[in-house]
Homo-oligomer: A and B are copies of this chain.
Amino acid sequence: MSPRKICVVVTARPSYSRIKTALTAIKAHPGLELQLVIAGSALLDRYGNAVDFIEKDGFEIAAKVFMVLEGENPTTMAKTTGLGVMELTNVFYNLNPDAVVTIADRFETIATSIAAAYQNIPLIHIQGGEVTGSIDEKVRHANTKLADLHLVSTEEAKERVIKLGEEPEKVMNTGCPSIDLAKEVLESPQMHFDPFEKYGGVGMDFDWRKGYVVVMQHPVTTEYQLAKMHIIETLKAIDALNYPAFWFWPNVDAGSDGTSNGIRTFRELQKPENIHFFKNMEPVDFLVLLKNSKALIGNSSAGIRECSYLGVPVINIGNRQHRRTRAENVQDVNYSEKEIREATEQAISHKHYPSSSLYGNGEAGNKIAEILAKTELTYNKTIAY
């Protein structure tokens, strides 16, 4: 029997970290053949082209798809998704996979879901069943309703997907593949690279060995006009702290222009002396950087997921991670310079937390590959109630 062709679509830089160990496991599995499609902002230098990392990690790319419209507003997000449906449909038609994997809840992931589901290709959704704010919340659950098999990250997510009317035998908690990487890092947490040397970036240099924080804050699509205002609170807080900070540019989303603009203007006018900016890092390097930091500030889901396992204190700002299950390492604050600054000060003086296995125990990649090789693949379903 020829191996099952599993087509995985990575549409953004952070999704690669979320799926990397599963890709490795699929590639290594004798019953599976990996068809890796890289699309969307994962191809764009402006957001930290992920292709170099991916190829360096030894993956062959079956197809690349440019599909991001400029504008970073709700209109271009929607058009990007439409373009993605058209192009991914063509890619799947020509690759002819046995199953397609769509990851999590970024707005353009529904393009993968439609392109597969409409072509009667079994659709596997990773990381469904969670709860957040932003358009992601709608997209994630719509992906669930289009998907045939659900590989979720937590027990709570599993229950929620079942409540959404999916057959219980089609919902499996594998844990999140990002925790697999976090496990590697926890086992060998030393900073094995110099961030300035390896990644360049812009802004101030400082001695990161003496302690630093990491900042990563994305715009919230449903509040996209406020993106600039939101980021400026954080910039003021970090500037006022006067503590070394590594800052990552935002994802491409409605509002990211506002976020970037806020950062650029602030840099130009305030010339903050303690901040260095990066576009992107290789997944493991990023986790090592987090593990060695005093805290992560922003609204990245890495704060909720990977940091729970790494035990890194997280200052979680605003509504983006609204209601997502979290461990004790997370403290929620509003878009407020004062709240952000005070919470960060506390976190800097606080020790790291014990590791939590809320999002998995580091075996997700292998479990996913095993399931993809063994489970019955179907594309026709009816709601359970």
* A contact residues vs B (CB 8 Å cutoff): 41, 43-46, 63-71, 73-79, 81-87, 89-91, 93-94, 107, 110-111, 114-115, 117-120, 131-133, 135, 137-139, 141-142, 144-146, 160, 163-165, 202, 221-222, 224, 252, 257, 261, 264, 268, 322-323, 379-383, 385
Q: A202 contacts B268, CB within 8 Å?
A: yes
Indicate whether A65 sits within 8 Å of B90 (C-beta atoms), given known contacts A71-B44, A138-B146. yes
Report which of B69, B224, B323, B379 forms a contact with A68, defined as CB distance below 8 A: B69
| Shortest Cβ gap from A112 to chain B (Å) | 11
- By beta carbon, the residue of chain B nearest A123 is B138
CB distance from A157 to the nearest CB of B (A): 11
Instruction: Check B110 against A114 for contact (C-beta < 8 Å).
Output: yes
Contact of A71 among B68, B79, B139 (CB under 8 A): B68
Q: B89 contacts A86, CB within 8 Å?
A: no
Identity of the chain B residue whose Cβ is nearest the Cβ of A143 in the assembled complex: B142
Are B74 and A120 touching (Cβ within 8 A)?
yes
Task: Say whether, besides A131-B382, A382-B131, A85 and B79 are in contact (CB < 8 Å).
Answer: yes
Contacts of A41 in B (CB 8 A): 70
Sort A-B residue pairs by CB-CB distance and give the 8 closest, nearest first.
A82-B85, A82-B86, A78-B118, A141-B145, A78-B89, A142-B142, A74-B119, A142-B145
Contact with A133, one of B66, B111, B380 (Cβ below 8 angstroms): B380
Partner of A90, one of B90, B139, B144, B163: B90
Q: Output the least CB separation between A304 and chain B (Å).
A: 15
Kindly report which residue of chain B lies nearest to residue A86, judged by CB atoms. Answer: B82
A174 to chain B, nearest CB (A): 21
Across the interface, which residues of B come within 8 angstroms of A87, CB to CB?
Answer: 82, 86-87, 90
Q: A322 contacts B382, CB within 8 Å?
A: yes
- Can you name 16 A-B residue pairings with CB atoms under 8 Å? A64-B94, A66-B73, A66-B90, A66-B93, A75-B90, A79-B90, A81-B114, A85-B85, A86-B87, A90-B91, A131-B382, A133-B380, A160-B165, A160-B383, A202-B264, A222-B380
Q: How distant is A136 from chain B, measured CB to nearest CB, in Å?
A: 11
Name A47's closest neighbour in chain B (CB-CB). Answer: B70
Given contacts A68-B69, A222-B120, contact A146 B142 (CB under 8 A): yes
